[in-house]
Amino acid sequence: MAANNSQPTGIDKEQAFGMAETEMEYRVELFNRLAQTCFNKCVDKRYKEAELNMGENSCIDRCVSKYWQF
């Protein structure tokens, strides 16, 4: 049962890049959906000022902690 050198037990560079790219796409998609969902839930559509007020801030904190999967 000698280890075959042409097929290493670890993953090679190509596969690693592919997996990293898929992971990156997944993360970007997750972030986009998170931003859109929490914005639609938390921010009132009639903009009265540019800054996020305190209620919106705490709403966004809660929304992100529910949505985000580390």
Partner 1 sequence: MASANPGTETTNESSSSNEPRIEPLRMPSMEEIRAQDIWNNCAVRSVASGVMGGGLGLFMGLFLGALENPIMQDEMTAKQQFIYTAKQMGRRSWGSAKAFAVMGLIFSAAECVVEKARAKHDMTNTVVAGCATGGAMSAKGGPKAACAGCAGFAAFSVLIEKFLDRHS
The b/e string for 32-63 (b: 16+ C-beta within 10 A; e otherwise) is eebeeebeeebeeeeeeeeeeeeeeeeebeeb
Q: Site residues (CB under 8 A) for partner 1? A: 24-25, 28, 31-32, 35-36, 42, 44, 48-49, 53-59, 62
CB of 32 to partner 1, least distance (A): 5
Nearer to partner 1, 8 or 70 (CB): 70
Nearer to partner 1, 11 or 24 (CB): 24
Q: Do residues 60 and 38 lie in contact, with contact meaning Cβ atoms separated by under 8 Å?
A: yes
Nearer to partner 1, 2 or 54 (CB): 54
Paired tokens of 70: 């580390």
